[in-house]
């Protein structure tokens, strides 16, 4: 079997898996419907791009269809960026302004309207056969890589904002959205780097080396798609978004500074009283036992504006809300682990009782606070 046939088979498998996964995403019941639709769109657009290796014998007889198929690659990066926004921010909705992301796709097709689409079949066939020979094709290829870089920098910036706001406003330790999207973005960046290298090889080395690079790209695509499927099966309701209108604490502090309110230095007497009131409430009412506690929930319970509470915790205490809440959870766990009457409780039962819902997060937080694992701590204080 020659390398071209092998590439065709790998591409066909990748496209088949892509269609199955997209069908699953479009039909599965989920609160994240928009995110699923955008992810399905991203996967299908990549499948259309990969299909070139086995569909060209058909599409070369229909040049308009073939060039339009190629032009859809301009939509891949924008759709992934919109997908990132949709799963990070629960209030994200598609709006007319988001059509601006389609301008490269539209511009590309308009540019080729007089040069290709409006010509006769003979000229179209000649254009396709010599598509990659001219300098214009190389410029467009470079523009495609630049587009990828811009959008994926944008995705990493979205992730940074998401993680910051999440830690400052939520106590739930399941930051699975961040982990999943970060992993996915890194993997796609690595694969795109391989694609970039492959494109460089196209113009500098022999066909055999280039085809070998194509095989590597195809195999990577299949593995990534299988990873998608495993994630979807294990986590059918994978994501938890946050409200995009929530501001990071540093922005709230800046607003107070602009309003000439004292925000730095020694705490005012009023701030000290408010912090003590918060601490007393945390000890007496134990709101941290609620796994999904948010800073908005706590602000409502203690009758304090969420903005003021965020500044007190995230700025004056120099703690994220996530860490602030976990301190009380770990102290509660320490008491339980030292109590002989609760010696029969398993570590898993304890972590659920105190508001954690992830064993790994509990173990990490506990060891950070005590320098011991929960099991080591129990042995040390119950023997």
- Pick from 66-70, 137-141, 291-295 the range whose average pLDDT is largest: 66-70
Q: What is the DSSP string of 192-203?
A: HHHHHHHHHHHH
Query: What tens digit of pLDDT does each residue of 118-162 get?
Result: 999 889 888 888 876 767 777 888 898 899 999 999 999 988 888
Contact between 150 and 80 under an 8 Å Cβ cutoff? The reply is: no
Residue 244 domain flag: no
**Do residues 228 and 280 share a domain?**
no
Domain boundary among 203, 234, 265: 234
CATH (domain of 365): 1.10.10.60
What pLDDT digit, counting tens, does each position of 150-161 carry? 999 999 998 888
216 and 273 share a domain?
A: no
Q: Report pLDDT digits (tens) over 251-275.
A: 555 455 444 444 444 567 888 888 8
| pLDDT at position 220 | 65
Domain stop point among 234, 268, 293: 234
Instruction: Go through 334-346 and write b for each residue having 16 or more CB atoms within 10 A of its CB, e for each that does not.
Output: bebbeeeeeeeee
Is 201 within 8 Å of 209 (Cβ atoms)? yes
Q: Is 314 in the same domain as 220?
A: no
Q: What is residue 104's predicted lDDT score, i.e. its pLDDT? A: 94
* Together in a domain, 179 and 313: no
**Domain ranges, residue 330:** 249-382
Residue 243 included in any domain: no
**Closest C-alpha to 291, from 327, 324, 329:** 329
- pLDDT score, position 210: 54
Domain boundary among 234, 263, 290: 234
- Are residues 230 and 276 both part of a single domain? no
Which of 29-33, 95-99, 267-271, 334-338 has the weakest average pLDDT? 29-33
Sorted by sequence, the CB contacts under 8 Å of residue 101 that are 6+ apart come out as: 75, 78, 81, 82
Q: Please, are residues 257 and 282 in contact by the beta-carbon 8 Å criterion?
A: no
Residue 242 lies in a domain: no
Model confidence pLDDT, tens digit, residues 73-89: 999 999 999 998 988 88
Tell me whether residue 21 is exposed, middle or buried, using C-beta atoms within 10 angstroms of its C-beta: 0 to 12, 13 to 18, 19 or more: buried
Q: Are 248 and 168 in contact (CB under 8 A)?
A: yes
Residues 188 and 274 in one domain: no
Predicted TM-score (pTM) of the model is: 0.74
Looking at the fold, whether 16 and 72 belong to one and the same domain comes out as yes
Residue 218: which residues within 8 A CB-CB, separation 6 or more? 7, 10, 11, 14, 50, 53
**Of 326, 312, 320, 322, which Cα lies nearest the Cα of 274?**
312
Q: Are residues 61 and 208 in the same domain?
A: yes
Only one residue has tokens 């919109």, namely 82
Q: Is residue 239 part of a domain?
A: no
Average pLDDT, the chain: 80
Token duo for residue 243: 């409200």
Q: Is the model's pLDDT at 60 over the cut of 60?
A: yes
**Where residue 135 sits, what CATH number does that domain have?**
1.20.1070
Residue 226 has pLDDT above 90, yes or no: no
The string of DSSP codes covering 46-102 is HHHHHTHHHHHHHHTTSHHHHHHHHHGGGGHHHHHHHHHHHHHBTT----GGGGGGG
- pLDDT at 206 (0 to 100): 54
Q: Is residue 241 part of a domain?
A: no
Q: What is the mean pLDDT of residues 352-380?
A: 87
Compute the average pLDDT of residues 233-258: 52
Q: Is residue 105's pLDDT more than 90? A: yes
Same domain? 173 vs 261: no
- 156 with 264, same domain: the answer is no
The distance from CA 150 to its chain's CA centroid, rounded to whole angstroms, is 16
Q: Are residue 361 and residue 227 in the same domain, yes or no? A: no
Sequence-distant contacts of 256-262: CB under 8 A, at least 24 apart: 256/311
Q: 211 or 73: which carries more pLDDT confidence?
A: 73
CA distance 125 to 132: 13
> Does residue 176 surpass a pLDDT of 70?
no
pLDDT value for 259: 45
Please report the pLDDT score of residue 277 as a whole number: 92
State residue 22's pLDDT score. Answer: 85
Tell whether 276 and 157 lie within a shared domain: no
Measured between alpha carbons, how far is 327 from 255 in angstroms, rounded to an integer?
29
Domain count, the chain: 2
- Give the contacts of 89 (CB within 8 A, at least 6 positions apart): 162, 241, 242, 243, 244
């Amino acid at each position: 079997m020659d390398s071209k046939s092998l590439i065709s088979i790998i591409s066909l498998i990748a496209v088949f898996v892509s269609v199955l996964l997209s069908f699953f995403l479009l039909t599965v019941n989920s609160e994240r419907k928009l995110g699923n639709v955008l992810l399905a769109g991203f996967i299908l657009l990549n499948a259309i791009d990969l299909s070139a290796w086995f569909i060209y014998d058909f599409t070369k007889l229909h040049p308009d269809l073939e060039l339009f198929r190629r032009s859809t690659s301009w939509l891949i990066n924008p759709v992934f960026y919109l997908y990132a926004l949709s799963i990070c921010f629960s209030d994200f909705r598609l709006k007319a302004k988001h059509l601006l992301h389609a301008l490269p796709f539209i511009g590309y097709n308009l540019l080729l309207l007089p040069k290709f689409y409006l010509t006769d079949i003979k000229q179209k066939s000649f254009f396709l056969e010599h598509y990659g020979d001219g300098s214009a094709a190389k410029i467009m290829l470079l523009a495609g890589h630049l587009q990828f870089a811009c959008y994926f920098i944008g995705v990493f910036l979205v992730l940074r904002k998401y993680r910051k706001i999440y830690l400052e406003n939520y106590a739930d330790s399941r930051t699975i959205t961040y982990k999943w999207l970060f992993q996915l973005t890194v993997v796609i960046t690595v694969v795109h780097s391989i694609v970039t290298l492959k494109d460089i090889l196209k113009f500098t080395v022999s066909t055999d080396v280039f085809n070998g690079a194509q095989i590597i790209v195809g195999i990577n695509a299949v593995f990534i798609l299988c990873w998608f499927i495993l994630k979807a099966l294990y986590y059918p309701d994978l994501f938890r978004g946050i409200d995009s209108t929530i501001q990071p604490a540093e922005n709230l502090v800046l607003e107070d500074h602009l309003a000439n309110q004292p925000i730095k230095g020694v705490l005012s007497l009023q701030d000290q009283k408010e912090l003590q009131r918060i601490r007393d409430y945390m000890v007496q009412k134990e709101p941290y036992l609620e796994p999904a506690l948010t800073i908005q929930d706590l602000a409502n319970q203690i009758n304090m504006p969420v903005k003021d509470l965020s500044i007190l915790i995230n700025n004056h205490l120099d703690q994220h809300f996530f860490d602030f809440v976990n301190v009380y959870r770990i102290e509660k766990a320490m008491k339980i682990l030292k109590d002989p009457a609760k010696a029969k409780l398993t570590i898993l039962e304890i972590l659920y009782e105190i508001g954690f819902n992830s064993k790994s997060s509990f173990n990490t937080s506990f060891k950070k606070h005590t320098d011991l694992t929960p099991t080591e701590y129990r042995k040390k204080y119950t023997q």
